[in-house]
């Protein structure tokens, strides 16, 4: 009788452990898919704002309720490479006319103030110098405007809202640079 009770208790403990493990995996998947994700900066396309090996937290859930704002830093699916993601800043939002004139972005005819880019560096044109953004289209660019340093909407055109994976809100590594990132003209 005692053996059967121990056997029953062992089975119950095993199933309890498996249940907790399965719930933890489902919860982690839910959080990673719908709440927030951790991202690693690879490359220099967002310098001087973000640097190689910075670690970021991006929020996923806001994209279900609102569009990214001009100035937000976002994680997007790389248009030309399946499975790869880019980190870029939103320059233009749906309905905007985005233009590059004399090395500077103009939004709907007004000079767009970008205090986060390196002083004295001009924005190059790759394929065209004017874009009209349709519904659900966003124009994104890297903060590093040195020639050839950022693969962005100047090269591949506007991105669709459905390719935006999250909005970057926090840098948590390195510890000495921990803090809020992104937002309108914010570092």
Quote the number of domains for the chain. 2
* CATH code where residue 107 lies: 2.10.109.10
**Residue 183: pLDDT band with limits 50, 70, 90:** low
Which tens digits make up the pLDDT trace of 89-112? 999 999 999 999 999 999 999 999
Whether residues 88 and 17 fall in one domain:
no
Show the CA angle centred on residue 94, arms to residues 133 and 80, nearest 5°. Answer: 60
Catalytic (active site) residue 153: no
Whether residues 98 and 86 fall in one domain:
yes
**Residue 185: pLDDT band with limits 50, 70, 90:** very low
Q: Which residue has the higher pLDDT, 48 or 184?
A: 48
Write down the catalytic residue from 45, 58, 150, 153: 45
Whether residues 22 and 74 fall in one domain:
no
Whether residues 30 and 46 fall in one domain:
no
Whether residues 112 and 91 fall in one domain:
yes
Show the CA angle centred on residue 185, arms to residues 180 and 187, nearest 5°. Answer: 35
Whether residues 30 and 88 fall in one domain:
no
Whether residues 118 and 55 fall in one domain:
yes
Write down the catalytic residue from 37, 58, 88, 150: 88
What is the per-residue burial (b if ≥16 Cβ within 10 Å, else e) of 46-79? bbebbeeebebebebebbeeebbebbbbbbbbeb
Whether residues 87 and 110 fall in one domain:
yes
Whether residues 120 and 161 fall in one domain:
yes
Instruction: Identify whether 1 is part of a domain.
Output: yes
Nearest to 160 by CA among 186, 183, 138: 138
The phi, psi pair for 125, rounded to 5°, reads -105, 135
Find out whether 157 and 56 touch, Cβ atoms under 8 Å: no
Which tens digits make up the pLDDT trace of 29-86? 766 666 778 899 999 999 999 999 999 989 888 777 889 999 999 999 999 888 899 9
**Which structural domain range is residue 162 located in?**
38-180
Whether residues 70 and 136 fall in one domain:
yes
Whether residues 105 and 155 fall in one domain:
yes
Whether residues 10 and 66 fall in one domain:
no
Catalytic (active site) residue 45: yes
Does the predicted model carry a pTM greater than 0.85? no
């Amino acid at each position: 009788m005692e053996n059967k009770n121990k056997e029953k208790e062992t089975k119950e403990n095993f199933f309890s452990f498996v249940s907790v493990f399965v719930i933890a995996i489902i919860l982690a998947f839910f959080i990673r898919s719908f709440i927030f994700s951790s991202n690693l900066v690879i490359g220099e396309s967002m310098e001087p704002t973000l640097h190689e090996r910075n670690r970021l937290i991006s929020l996923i859930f806001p994209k279900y309720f609102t569009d990214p704002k001009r100035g937000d830093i976002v994680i997007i699916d790389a248009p030309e490479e399946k499975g790869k993601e880019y980190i870029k800043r939103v320059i233009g939002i749906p309905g905007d006319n985005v233009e590059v004139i004399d090395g500077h972005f103009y939004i709907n005819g007004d000079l767009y103030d970008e205090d986060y880019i390196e002083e004295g560096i001009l924005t190059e044109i790759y394929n065209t110098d004017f874009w009209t953004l349709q519904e659900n289209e966003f124009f994104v660019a890297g903060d590093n405007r040195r020639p050839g340093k950022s693969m962005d909407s100047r090269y591949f055109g506007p991105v669709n809202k459905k390719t935006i994976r999250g909005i970057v809100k926090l840098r948590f590594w390195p510890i000495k640079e921990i803090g809020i990132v992104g937002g309108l003209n914010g570092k």
